[in-house]
Structure 1
Amino acid sequence: MLGTRVSAFLKLSKRDLKYDFPASIVVFLVALPLCLGIAMASGAPLFAGVLTGVIGGIIVASLSGSPLSVSGPAAGLTTIVAASIMKLGAYETFLLAVVLAGVMQLILGFIKAGMIGNYFPSSVIIGMLAAIGITIILKQLPIAFGMTEAHAFELDNGGGIAAFTDTILNSVNWGATIICFLSLAILIFWPSIKGLNKIPAPLVVVLLGVGLGFAFQQTAFSLGTVSHYVSIPVVSSFNEFLGLFIFPDFTQIGNKEVWIVAATIAIVASLETLLSIEAVDKIDPFKRNSPTNRELLAQGIGNMSSGLLGGLPLTSVIVRSSANANSGGRTRQAAILHGIWLLVALLAIPALINYIPLACLAAILLHTGFKLAKPSLFKQMFTKGLDQFIPFTITVVAIVFTDLLMGVGIGIVVATFYILKANMQNAYKFKIEEVESKNTAILTLAEEVSFLNKAPIQQKLHNLPRSVDKVIINGKNSKFIDKDVLEVLKDFEQNAMSKGLEIELQDVTYKRKTVRSKSSKLQKTV
């Protein structure tokens, strides 16, 4: 009976299993290296990355209303996570912030805030993703060259460019470099090879890396120490497995910094999820619409679960979701099954996973970062106009040189300036022409006239040319006129009468009440 109810809630379908099962395998093969790579880039335990993928697959997909969305640790949160762990000083304290972020997402879901993404300027959101891509690239470049030591780029003894070059060359592990660049080539060119492209490129990269890691042993290209490989714990009993989980430090609940980090994660994770959901719905062959408020609830429960068990913040991830759609997935079964495969891999083959070189994961992250910040994106934003390109560019620069929250804030301020500027410029249309032998100024109001339009309208009316004999203010296109603007019209009408200037108001509408005047007398409107 209970099983029937659960199946009904999840809407599991045996009919679609023949599509969802193979899709789940593909998503699993894409997700595993991404989970490990994102955990590595975030400065978190690699176990936490896979654990987050399991929670995103099994828990979030079970609660979500999106048929194709796949959740897990997100590249877009790596910079926030890395900075937050350092800022809070302990991973357990950071986990508390993840739990609180999940609670905040639950609240957003309950108050129907699923449309929140529509109120952020698209130029800032795109700039945020591009900046995250650049940051990922900068962080992964040392690992791509096998520079796992923190002092790889430090130079204590002077010596100029020659000493700097010598230090860099001595720090490079050429085996890791070869693996990374061959992996990048596969990620770039493999999808275009007909027949072979049915095998996911990240899987080929991982297999290549493991193979070359073994082949380079006992050669000059040997990766050497375990610091060049994935390192997740290998357990021999269930009790040891339970010991891998890290729990949040609830004694830090009064720490102001924890709440700031939690709010940051909740906002960014929610935005990234909503943007991903929108993108996934567009590539859904059945053109289904995902309920955004329900998605926020599912993400909130997912992040609470992840934080309580020692995982990372999670979001709906476009890379995995698009892999699901492109592989023929039809329902949430594919995402749920991918989470099960991640759990099986974590329990059954951790020793095999530890043979994966970090250079492979660096290549996958470099490729991900490039897709987020590819040069064509900058060109595309430039063609949209300076009002889009400048906020986008400033957001990118601000995030790269400060942090994500500060950068997004700066970007929103700049974007708001351009929005207000456009709004003020579009307040009205103005022209002067001869009407019944009178030099007439015609001011046609916009569809929406807010208090922001008060100043430009007032300035235009008070700076009319002396040659004007008559003024017509036309509101036929206006659906809303703010009270402040009506006050400006009243004041101008009184001032015009004292100067003998004729004024005519036509169809000025405010709150469904109409002002109609064909004389210089203004009727009451409010």
Structure 2
Amino acid sequence: MFGNLGADLPAGLVVFLVALPLCLGIALSSGAPLFSGVIAGVVGGIVVGFLSGSHTSVSGPAAGLTVIVLNAITDLGAFDLFLTAVFLAGAIQVGLGMAKAGVIGYYFPTSVIKGMLAGIGIILIIKQIPYAFGVADTRDLLEYAPFVNDLDAVMSLNLLVTSVIEYGSLIVALVSIGIMLLWEKPVVQGNKILKLLPGALVAVLVSIGINKFFKFFVQDLYITTEDKVKLPEISGFSSLVDQLMFLDPSGFLDSKVWVVAITIGIIASLETLLSLEAADKIDPYKRISPPNKELFAQGIGNMVNGLIGGLPVTAVIVRSSANVSSGAKSKLSAIFHGLLLLLSVLIIPNLLNLIPLASLAAVLLLVGYKLAKISLFRTMYKLGWDQFLPFFATILGIIVFDLLKGIGIGMAIGVVYILMRNYKNAYFYKETTDSDSKLHHIVLSEEVSFLNKGALISALNKIPVDSKVIIDGSNSKVIDYDVLEVIENFKTNALERNIEVETIGIQSVVIKSLH
């Protein structure tokens, strides 16, 4: 691991610059103390990075969990109870890793996964709009409508019309978005020096400069302390310990805490496995990361976060892609970025507390847009209704209800399409005419389950009287008993309709199925 310091340390620095504004922004978006976002980044880098088997993946607080976290903190009513749920979620992930459940990510349709991410992106955008506008009564507005998965909260955005807009915050947000969009253009990416600086970091630094300009020259636009980052000033180790928050042991017996824990454990595991697979795909060395070991590492990380006050973490593709593109060769870069996050809180809290919340909102607005691009909707629509409907239903379910219900709705529609395909793919039907009569040839598919029973019954019922039918199961490896029963019943009924029935390969399948 230490043989690639020349590549890993610079990569870790870049990941740190990307992660810092995201840690703060995601904590803000989650309705959690901003310090908890930094703690999660430190744990995701150092603890998970050390235990992980991935060379390129980087963990930290994830945008995909903001909706769950905000809902959970609101429902449980206390941050220490939420930390108990985070600890239990980590224990669940450890169990999944030890049970070798790393394959669960393969059983979620891509359409539902993309719908989940797009839905989260839309919710992110909605939640950050008040901060971008810097409304004077933001806290009252958020208390009335916390902008989570509730249609009433979405509709409550009209409250912004009657709110007093802080134009300083709005200017900072617009300039920050403009800088981040500019940073993706060839004019910046073609510059060897500028492309090394993350656009989000540049936007945050410029926003501090703009607000300083407002303070001295346009005081009406100056963004005051209540609309800036508030991190505790830490003077030493004892001061750091004083700032840590701890779980509430009584939550171990609370059913609501367990519901939150199971939700976080499942969603965090799924997001981790998807990000891990994506990171492996962009790894220039094409190394394969062990998913079960990753679940174990994430679980330990989340248990630590629950113990000391951090947000739940997952493997995150934004940090991971920055890591790979910066030339990282081992997981030392992820560990180094975690150390830098820790040092930043210990050494430069005063600088971090100058960051306007509107600038962090701009970072997350762009993250939300990238998750829910219009082009994504067009692409999914072109793939056909079997892909678009689960995708769109997942998004709608997330916005109207909540994340799990949205995923459940999308999965249900996806299963309906699977059933429909199975219904149609039970057999191949061919009709030929000889000198005497028509011959009906039904070739069963490789696997014929009870789901295909209806389609086969429909096909057999259409065979006319006084004819011959061949039912060919020679290519079938599995035929359910339900289907075999349908064939036997048809053979009995065919005698009355003067239909000659010949079966090929069916008997051998019967013997195999009985053993």
Do these two structures clear the TM 0.5 threshold for a shared fold by scoring above it?
yes
Structure 1 position 487 matched with structure 2 position 480: no
Q: Within the alignment, does 1:185 sit opposite 2:178 as a pair?
A: yes
Q: What amino acid is the match of 2:108?
A: F
Aligned ranges 1:357-376 → 2 under 5 Å:
357-376=356-375
Distance in structure 2 (CA, Å) of the matches to 1:178 and 1:404: 32
- Indicate the residue corresponding to 2:139 in structure 1: 150
> Are 1:476 and 2:474 matched, yes or no?
yes
Which residue is equivalent to 1:204? Answer: 202
Partners of 1:321 and 1:380 in 2: CA distance: 25
Tell me the amino acid that sits aligned with residue 314 of structure 2: T
- Asked if 1 retains the 8 angstrom alpha-carbon contact of 2:231 and 2:349, the reply is yes
Comparing 224-233 with 504-513, which one deviates more in the overlay? Answer: 504-513
- Shift of residue 494 of structure 1? 2.0
Q: Which moved more, 1:500-509 or 1:174-183?
A: 500-509
* Counterpart residue number, 1:19: 7
User: How far apart are 1:60 and its partner, in Å?
Assistant: 0.3
SS at match of 1:472: strand
Report which stretch shifted further, 274-283 or 179-188: 179-188
Q: Which amino acid in structure 1 is aligned with residue 125 of structure 2?
A: I
> Does structure 1 retain, via aligned residues, the 8 Å contact 2:135–2:164?
yes
CA drift of 1:235 comes to 2.1
- 1:7 is aligned to none
* Deviation string, structure 1 residues 186-227 (Cα, Å, up to 9, x no partner): 111213222122221112111101111111114155334212
The residue that corresponds to 1:316 in the other structure is 315
Q: Give the equivalent residue in structure 1 for 2:224.
A: 225
Moved more, 220-229 or 40-49: 220-229
Q: 1:502 maps to which residue? A: 500
The match for 1:158 is none
Q: Is the 8 A contact 2:130 2:160 kept in 1?
A: no
Residue of structure 2 equivalent to 1:391: 390
Alpha-carbon shift at residue 360 of structure 1 (Å): 1.2
CA RMSD, 1 decimal:
2.1
Give the Cα separation in 2 of the matches to 1:472 and 1:115.
Answer: 41
Match of 2:42 among 45, 54, 64: 54
Q: Please report the TM-score for the alignment, with normalisation by the length of structure 2.
A: 0.92
Distance (whole Å) between structure 1 residues aligned to residue 510 and residue 469 of structure 2: 24
Q: Distance in 2 between matches of 1:74 and 1:283?
A: 19
What SS class does the counterpart of residue 432 from structure 2 fall into?
strand
**Structure 2 equivalent of residue 405 of structure 1:** 404
CA gap 1:510/1:237 in 2 versus in 1, 3 angstroms: farther
- Which of the numbers 64, 75, 83 marks the counterpart of 2:63? 75
Equivalent-residue separation in structure 2 for 1:510 and 1:395 (angstroms): 44
The yes-or-no answer on 1:105 pairing with 2:93 is yes
Number of aligned positions between the proteins: 496
Letter in 1 for 2:348: I
Aligned match of 2:303: 304
Q: Which moved more, 1:433-442 or 1:314-323?
A: 433-442
Q: CA deviation at 1:412?
A: 1.3
2: CA distance between counterparts of 1:285 and 1:152? 47
Pair 1:175-2:168 in alignment: yes
Cα distance in 2 for residues equivalent to 1:425 and 1:221: 68
Q: Which residue of 1 aligns with 2:107?
A: 119
The AA in structure 1 aligned to 2:12 is S
Given that 1:36 and 1:361 are in contact with CA atoms closer than 8 Å, whether structure 2 keeps it comes out as: yes
The CA deviation at 1:238 is: 2.4
What is the identity, as a one-letter code, of the residue corresponding to 2:178?
A
Q: Structure 2 residue aligned with 1:216, among 214, 217, 236?
A: 214
Residues 509 and 351 of structure 1: is their aligned pair in 2 closer, same or farther, counting only changes over 3 Å? farther
**Which protein is richer in helix relative to its size?**
2
Following the alignment from structure 2 to structure 1, what is the Cα–Cα distance between the partners of residues 27 and 159? 31
* Stretch of structure 1 that moved more, 482-491 or 336-345: 482-491
Q: Which runs of 5+ in 1 are unaligned?
A: 1-11, 156-163, 515-523
Call closer, same or farther: CA 1:296–1:427 in 2, change over 3 Å.
same
Does the C-alpha gap of structure 1 residues 410 and 165 become closer, same or farther in structure 2, counting only changes over 3 Å?
A: closer
The letter for the 1-side match of 2:2 is S
Identical-residue share of aligned pairs (%): 49
Counterpart secondary structure, 2:438: strand
Q: Secondary structure at the match of 1:43?
A: coil
In structure 1, C-alpha distance between the alignment counterparts of 2:365 and 2:507, rounded to whole Å: 56
* Structure 2 contact 135–163 (Cα < 8 Å) conserved: no
Shift of 1:464: 2.0
Q: Secondary structure at the match of 2:323?
A: helix
Contact 1:478 1:509 survives alignment (8 Å): no
- Give the structure 1 partner of residue 151 of structure 2: none
CA pair 265-511 structure 1, distance change in 2 beyond 3 A:
farther
Answer yes or no: is the 8 Å Cα contact 2:235–2:346 preserved in 1: no
Q: C-alpha displacement at 1:17, in angstroms?
A: 1.2
Structure 1 residue 170, shift from structure 2 partner: 5.6
Q: Secondary structure in 2 aligned to 1:364?
A: helix
Residue from 19, 31, 36 that aligns with 1:43: 31
Q: 1:365 to 1:150 in 2, by over 3 A?
A: same
Aligned letter for 2:260?
Answer: V
Q: Which residue identity lines up with residue 15 of structure 2 in the other structure?
A: V
Tell me, in whole angstroms, the C-alpha distance in 1 between the residues paired with 2:507 and 2:26: 55
Hey, what's the Cα distance between the residues in 2 that align with 1:492 and 1:486? Answer: 10
Whole-Å separation in 2 of the counterparts to 1:337 and 1:235: 21
Which secondary structure does the structure 1 equivalent of 2:288 belong to?
coil
Partner residue, 1:253: 252
Distance 1:450 1:61 in 2: 44
**Do the aligned partners of 1:479 and 1:510 also contact (CA within 8 Å) in 2?**
no
**CA offset at residue 465 of structure 1?**
3.0
SS of structure 1 residue aligned to 2:463: coil
Aligned mates of 1:352, 1:189 — CA distance in 2: 25
> Helix, strand or coil for the counterpart of 1:322?
helix
Change (3 A) 1:488 1:310: same
Match of 2:18 in 1: 30
Of residues 53, 59, 68 in structure 2, which corresponds to 1:65? 53
Change (3 A) 1:439 1:512: closer
Alignment-mate amino acid for residue 95 of structure 2: I
The C-alpha deviation readout for 1:240-291, integer Å capped at 9, x for no partner, is 2111111100112111111110000001000000000111111010111110
Which residue identity lines up with residue 150 of structure 1 in the other structure?
R
Q: CA deviation at 1:433?
A: 1.6
What is the match of residue 349 of structure 2? 350
User: Could you tell me how far apart the structure 1 residues matched to 2:503 and 2:163 are?
Assistant: 80
Structure 2 contact 211–223 (Cα < 8 Å) conserved: no
Structure 1 residue 282 corresponds to structure 2 residue 281? yes
| 2:82 matched residue in structure 1 | 94
How far apart are residue 479 of structure 1 and its match?
A: 2.2
Within 2, Cα distance between the matches of 1:375 and 1:274? 26
Task: Provide closer, same or farther for how the CA distance between residues 509 and 117 of structure 1 changes in structure 2, counting only shifts above 3 A.
Answer: farther
Rounded Cα–Cα distance in structure 1 between residues aligned with 2:496 and 2:141: 79
Does the 8 Å contact 1:71/1:314 carry over to 2? Answer: yes
Task: For residue 32 of structure 1, report the CA deviation from its aligned partner.
Answer: 0.3
CA contact (8 A) 1:454 1:484 kept: yes
Which residue matches 1:8? none
**Structure 2: runs of 5+ lacking an equivalent:** 146-156
Report the TM-score when normalising by structure 1.
0.91
Structure 1 residue 436, shift from structure 2 partner: 5.7
